[in-house]
Amino acid sequence: MSVFADLGRHPGWPVRLGPLQVRAGTVELRGPRLFDGGKWSRLRIRDRAYLEQWEPTAPEGWDERNATLSWPAQWSSLRGMARRGTTLPFMILVDGEVAGQITVGNIVRGSLLSAWIGYWVAADRAGGGVATAAVALLTDHAFRGAGLHRLEATVRPENGASIRVLTKSGYREEGLFKRYLDVAGQWRDHLCFALTTEEVPDGLVRRLVARGEARLP
């Protein structure tokens, strides 16, 4: 058993990332907490029409899956997976307030060192650079702090906003997954985007800062 397992810790976890200043405010990433449930639920219920069209179908229904009472079980699951080293889950904060989530999941080590990255941002924070900043912060950490080699993200072809976030961040399109995921009650095609650590030797945050799209406070 590794020293990380002995301590209940794994490479890259736990950690707080940021801050990074963008148009919408100051973006930071931290691990989920039990008391996040109320704000998390309010955002998810409020933004159902904005989020549900892009996320996996909820068999139990959107309101039930995103109710405050469902958060403790989700939080416990995320914390457990983080401790086992299979997931890096974060809340996205803007000016100290919860504004979304971003996760590196299905971490496979050994000769693969790969995982996926996924995120959502509250509707009233969209378009202000929040998602791009969060992706940059976590991608850099996944490659450097967690020692991963490759990250991939899947997105519906209709989701132009998310595609712009990924392409601005340097992720490249690799192909189309046909009928890949059940979203809004139907099996939907998804584009696959990916990035490896060799492609961003100086990191995505430095790239955003150099382009004037973000700054370090």
The string of pLDDT tens digits covering residues 24-34 is 999 999 999 99
Residue-wise pLDDT for 162-173, tens only, equals 999 999 999 999
Determine the Cα–Cα distance for residues 155 and 110; give it in Å rounded to an integer.
Answer: 27
Percentage of the chain with pLDDT > 70? 96
Q: pLDDT tens across 79-99, in order? A: 999 999 999 999 999 999 999
For residues 9 and 2, the model is more confident at 9
Contacts of 17 (CB under 8 A, 6+ apart): 28, 29, 30, 90, 137, 138, 141
* Cβ proximity of 150 and 113 under 8 Å: yes
Q: Which amino acid is at 200?
A: V
**Distance between CA atoms of 34 and 75, rounded to whole angstroms?**
6
Output the pLDDT for position 9: 59
Above 70 in pLDDT, residue 3?
no
Task: Look at residue 69 and tell me whether its pLDDT is greater than 50.
Answer: yes
Contact 188, 120 (CB under 8 A): no
What confidence score (pLDDT) does residue 2 get?
33
Q: Could you give the angle at the alpha carbon of 107 between the alpha carbons of 149 and 135, nearest 5°? A: 65
The size of the chain, in residues, is 217
Model pLDDT, residue 176: 98
Q: Is the pLDDT of residue 71 over 50?
A: yes
pLDDT for 184 equals 85
The pLDDT score that the predictor gives to residue 118 is 97
Quick: pLDDT tens for 4-62.
333 345 788 999 999 999 999 999 999 999 999 999 999 999 999 999 999 999 888 89
Strands 25-30 and 88-94: antiparallel
**What homologous superfamily is domain 15-210 in, according to CATH?**
Gcn5-related N-acetyltransferase (GNAT) (3.40.630.30)
3-state SS string over 20-64? EEECCEEEEEECCCHHHHHHHHHHHHHCHHHHCCCCECCCCCHHH
Flag whether pLDDT at 204 surpasses 50. Answer: yes
| Structure confidence by residue, pLDDT tens digits, 171-188 | 999 999 999 999 988 999
Q: What is the pTM of this model?
A: 0.94
| C-alpha dist (Å) from residue 74 to 2, 13, 79, 107 | 26, 18, 9, 18
Whole-angstrom Cα distance, residue 156 to residue 126? 17
Q: How do the domains of the chain map onto residue ranges?
A: 15-210
